[in-house]
Amino acid sequence: MGHILITGAGSGFGKEIAFRLAEQGHDVIAAVEIQPQIFALQQEAQKRGLSLSIEKLDITDPADRAKAWQWDVDILLNNAGISEGGSVIDIPAENLRKQFEVNVIGTILLTQGFAREMVKNKKGRIVFMSSVAGLTVDPFTGAYSASKHAIEAFAIALDKELKYFGIQIATINPGPFLTGFNDRMFETWKSWRDTPEDRVFDYSQLAFPHEQFDPEEVITTTLSVLTGKTKRYRNLVPAQMEKDTEKQINHVWDKLQNNPEGGAKDPLVQKAYQIRPGTPA
């Protein structure tokens, strides 16, 4: 099947996906953002009796991207990403830029180099770890959702542009899963370099406004997409969220503007004040 590159393999979905592929006997390159993550992954792989390549790849670093393009890669999983929580009105400029620099600019620039090689070879598969947030939007996740909406647009464009060359494109769209990623998103305000008194919202009172699922289904679905067992372009996980997601997407056509006199909080804003971090589904 060829070599599979997993970006952002230092933790979460990426790490476990890389390990599971190695267990199945695939040639895997697990790419991590920073050098210290290499040793930690090597130790864990050794304990599990796995053989895989572990490389440093900061997707925002042009030199790292150029180095990666020298690797023999047939299947690319763009999994590296960050999440910036907070209201659109409060997030500092540098945090907004970083959100897009990692999730969009770095991801697409890395993809360009591998896609060109795939075009030459007339084969390849590019998979984007997107999100249900690439299709819908919750309060306090606007920056993250916007970056994933952008990835969805790039993926659809690539799918049409590279069809002639036989390159396969797919997205994985996880809903809320309990990996720590969502809860950390609602703690990024702690490192903002701004004036807290100017914030509209008190983020110490807010949490990710959804119960969260066991991540196993995302891992198994991604493995199926990467290995070609699943042929669907878009893969929303868990599958039972599909109907509700479609309803949210279509709701905007009937939605009216807010009452100029104000009113009750949006239900998810209210829930963000009430729910505890890491609440399981």
Which residues belong to the active site?
A: 144
204 contacts: CB under 8 Å, gap ≥ 6? none
249 contacts: CB under 8 Å, gap ≥ 6? 135, 136
Contact between residue 182 and residue 13 where contact means Cβ atoms under 8 Å apart? no
